[in-house]
Amino acid sequence: MRLSIALLSIAVLLTPTAATAHAVEPPPPAVRDFGNGPERNEEAAGVSAETLRAPTEEPYGYSHERDRGYPRQNQLPIPGENPADASIKLGLVPYHGIAPRLNDLQRRSKRVSAEIIGRSYQGRDLYLVTVTAPESREEAREQSRLRDRIQHDPAAAARDRGLPRKYKAPLFVNNNIHGNEWEGTDAALRVIEELATSTDPEVADLLSRTRLYFNVTANPDGRVNGVRVNGAGFDLNRDFVTASQSEVRAMRQVMIDTQPVTMIDLHGYVNGTLIEPTTPPHGANYEYDLFIRNTYANGLGMEAAIKALGHTPEADGVYPPQIPFRDSDEGWDDWPPIFAPQYAPFHGAVAAHTVEIPLRVNGSDYINLPVDELRRRSGINTAIAAAAIRATYGFVRARHDQLIADQIEVFRRGAAGEPSRTVPLGIVPGFGSEDVYNTTFPRAYVIPAGGGQRSATAAARLVDHLIANDVEVGQAKRSFRANGRTYLAGSYVVDMRQPKRGLANVMLEAGTDISPRVDAMYDISGWSHALLWGATVDGVTSLQAQAEPVKAAAPTGSVPKGHGPLALKVIDAKEVMALNALLAQGVAVTWANDGTAIIPATARQAAHTVSDRYGVAFTPAGTAAGTPRGIAAGAPAGTPVGAPSGTPTGTLAGTATGTPLSQVRIAAATSADELFTLRELGFPVTPISTATLNSGFDWSGTDVLFVSSGLSYTALNPTAKAALDTFLASGGVVTRGSTGAAFNTAAGLLTATSVAGRGDANGVARVVSSTGPVGSGSPGYSFVYSPRWFTGLGPEVTVEQAYATEGPLVSGHWRPNPNGTGGQEAAKGQAAVVSGRDERGAAVVLFGTEPMFRNHPKGLFPQVARALYWSASVTGAAVTTP
């Protein structure tokens, strides 16, 4: 079926909610719920975010050491009993009940090992259970050697015909990544117990030839709280290219360390049970011929196992399973590697599935249905999830040697640098030209050192991110030439002849504008660490560099010798963090609207500390200010489109003049991901909403109001409106998106008409920046989701950034609305970010782009910071020097 994102709300209404189940109703269309998508414009992080605990650094107790056999049993600490755990109402295991059960199983069986692999945002332990036949230390070592060989010497592994017989096939079962899709956890515990205690010789055979890894609950915060997201408000199943959350970093590490040949990710709720493989478009960086054969085969196996349970619409309201690849045309794709099963293939999974179990127990059903009905549903869901797990381990047992051989082939093609393969039509029934997606791999990516690099700090972050994803990165010991230019010694090289080249490419390629090929996409369609993370990255077609592998990026922080004041150009998120750290200490910073902070000579020691901590480079004030380091080199589209305005003190132009700046305190009506990012950048943020303002809010501690979600000016009561109007005479305002634009209009701030692009449009867009206080120093690309632009600008309004007249979409999906409006054509050359002073005094910046989306586009965060510094400094909101 065809689905568009505009239809989502209708689809949700179609979901059966009747307590008198069992009635024969048509199954609802297959849709995935959004997480941190367009609904971010309505649902503010709000008050709940104030109660969040600070992020905890996860301890890594995870032991894939070579020198231990199996079992590797650990007495898991038992969390305090929580009677409010949302699982209890459903008759499912509460989070605090998991560790006792695993401890008990470890006591009862030598087949079960439980480990803590990290912590959730709110500090709960994450459990990995390994189920396998006991192994001696030598056997475990041999398994590690074979795994290394498969990844790092795949050509030799492919020649070793005996290898698959000697190697235990790893299978990864991921559960409960959406906290209010509970039953995967319960099914996993059931299957672990069965396998641990079974006397069936087939189980003994299975466990002698496989290792089964269970992430018992990937999202314990959400499980306890009864919500989709983790404690930070993030949809973890959208975070795999960014890995902003500790839970995702733990899953990533499991995939790297265990190298599963197959993985399933248990979700809910779609009736009938939905089983991947998916509709097109298919990610172009997978070895899709290997992937689709295995994924489809296991999908059919899971379908048969679920059908064998005998549920029917008439008997219990359960519809037969559906497989989007076979049963739908569009709308459930495997294009972006933001989902767990779309990320695992890059670490060698040749079958990977989202499985959506059928009967809804969350949302309004959780609140409204009788407990008996909820438990009836959760019981059926658990049985179906368990059947999916059993079918999958049966599949791994049956195809053991072939799955291992196929994984070896994935890595072999990567290491050999073979071109992207065109999958033959009909490789599985129904595989047609609409399913064929290819890419072109460059010979290497170079992340330049020296003047060719837009930001050495951003380059270091990107290198560390690639390494954390198990991508091999080298550093050139001498200068070299490629694509007709010279790269200095110290440049980083990502050689695309490597086993995980698919993962390297999916992060570093610009991506594709797939608008012409499909109408409906499930989630984001564009992303690019090369274009959005602030560093210069070049794809090159030849490579003669001598590069030595690195385990981490080289340090980038520096402070020039001498005794004078220092300048810090704020073009990267790390520079924002460093500046905010200095402001938090009360350093008397001067802010110039070209985006440079001047640090007095008296704060040189503090500058040394933050330089070291954040890897930022200070320059002597008076020389570097006004000449940003290599801006032009990394940003091809850097032509000014408007003159700066509202800069009462002028720019620095080589002298330490500007506006005094102290810490910028923010009141934010914003989505959870933006709140997370603002706090990560070091801004003190108080979450607000319409409700908090209506119940009385003291504006005296606020310098800038940020509005993107959950605040309606027209819904404020007269007292709240009056208090806000008083603030607007002297404060700053930064807004984003539809909620922000509506606030601007209702509050009578800037003269600008906000125009909406198509609501589901998203991706990487070419932009052209001005030399204004926000645009100055911006990259030539931005990220959009439900893009907007501004027309009918008043004389007080400056264009900080505009959509390019070429494109503007580089990669992603952006079609016009059916009536022809809202497309790329309409956006060409239009203002995407504007600034200006309201006649009452407020300094206002409006974003039509998405510079903090899901914490991903790290190279765009400084635009938001510059907007905040500018609006605070020119209004005098944050000038009181402590």
Q: Which helix (H) or strand (E) holds 113?
A: strand 112-119
Nearer residue to Zn ion within complex by CB, 267 or 501:
267
Instruction: Tell me which residue has its CB nearest to Zn ion.
Output: 267
Q: How many CB atoms lie within 10 A of CB 486?
A: 12
Nearer residue to Zn ion within complex by CB, 32 or 400:
32
Nearer residue to Zn ion within complex by CB, 178 or 209:
178
Q: Which helix (H) or strand (E) holds 98?
A: helix 95-108
**Phi, psi (degrees; rounded to nearest 5) at 563:** -125, 0
Whole-number Å distance between alpha carbons of 255 and 274: 23
Tell me, what DSSP letter sits at residue 668?
Answer: E
Closest separation in Å from C-beta 118 to Zn ion: 20
Whole-number Å distance between alpha carbons of 512 and 158: 33
Nearer residue to Zn ion within complex by CB, 267 or 461:
267
Whole-number Å distance between alpha carbons of 662 and 628: 23
Closest separation in Å from C-beta 257 to Zn ion: 24
Structure tokens at 679: 């706090």
Closest separation in Å from C-beta 189 to Zn ion: 19
Nearer residue to Zn ion within complex by CB, 182 or 869:
182
Where in 139-270 does DSSP place strands (E)? 169-175, 210-215, 262-268
Backbone dihedral region for residue 843 (phi beyond 0: left; psi -120 to 50: alpha; all else: beta): beta
In order of 437, 458, 546, 615, the CA distances from 557 in angstroms are 42, 12, 25, 4
Nearer residue to Zn ion within complex by CB, 181 or 472:
181
Residues that bind Zn ion (CB under 5 A): 178, 181, 267
Closest separation in Å from C-beta 1 to Zn ion: 20
Give start and end residues of each alpha helix (H) in 480-572. 501-508, 529-532
Closest separation in Å from C-beta 181 to Zn ion: 5
Nearer residue to Zn ion within complex by CB, 267 or 574:
267
Nearer residue to Zn ion within complex by CB, 182 or 783:
182
Nearer residue to Zn ion within complex by CB, 228 or 293:
228
Give the up-direction half-sphere exposure of residue 590: CA atoms within 13 A in the CB hemisphere.
20
- The amino acid at 91: G
Nearer residue to Zn ion within complex by CB, 269 or 814:
269
**Phi, psi (degrees; rounded to nearest 5) at 728:** -65, -10
In order of 218, 637, 769, the CA distances from 46 in angstroms are 24, 37, 32
Which residues is 215 bridged to in the sheet?
128, 174
Give start and end residues of each alpha helix (H) in 536-653. 573-584, 604-614, 631-634
Which residues 6+ apart lie within 8 Å of 164 measured at CB? 400, 401, 402, 404, 405
Closest separation in Å from C-beta 502 to Zn ion: 24
Is the C-alpha dihedral spanning 501, 504, 507, 509 positive or negative?
A: negative
Closest separation in Å from C-beta 178 to Zn ion: 4
Closest separation in Å from C-beta 827 to Zn ion: 32
Q: DSSP per residue over 308-371, as a string?
A: TT---HHHHS-PPPB-HHHH-SSS-EE-STTSHHHHGGGGT-SEEEEEEESS--SHHHHHHS-H
- The amino acid at 803: Y
Q: DSSP per residue over 809-872, as a string?
A: EEEEE----TTS-SSHHHHTT-EEEEEEE-TTS-EEEEESS-TTGGG--GGGHHHHHHHHHHHH
Whole-number Å distance between alpha carbons of 206 and 426: 32
Nearer residue to Zn ion within complex by CB, 267 or 529:
267
Nearer residue to Zn ion within complex by CB, 360 or 815:
360
Residues written for the chain: 882
Nearer residue to Zn ion within complex by CB, 339 or 706:
339
Nearer residue to Zn ion within complex by CB, 178 or 854:
178
In order of 348, 832, 836, the CA distances from 801 in angstroms are 41, 5, 13
Q: How many CB atoms lie within 10 A of CB 782?
A: 29
Tell me, what DSSP letter sits at residue 435?
Answer: G
Nearer residue to Zn ion within complex by CB, 247 or 703:
247
Whole-number Å distance between alpha carbons of 22 and 194: 30
Nearer residue to Zn ion within complex by CB, 37 or 682:
37
Give the up-direction half-sphere exposure of residue 552: CA atoms within 13 A in the CB hemisphere.
3
Q: Comparing C-alpha atoms, which of 638, 645, 692, 643 is closest to residue 668?
A: 692
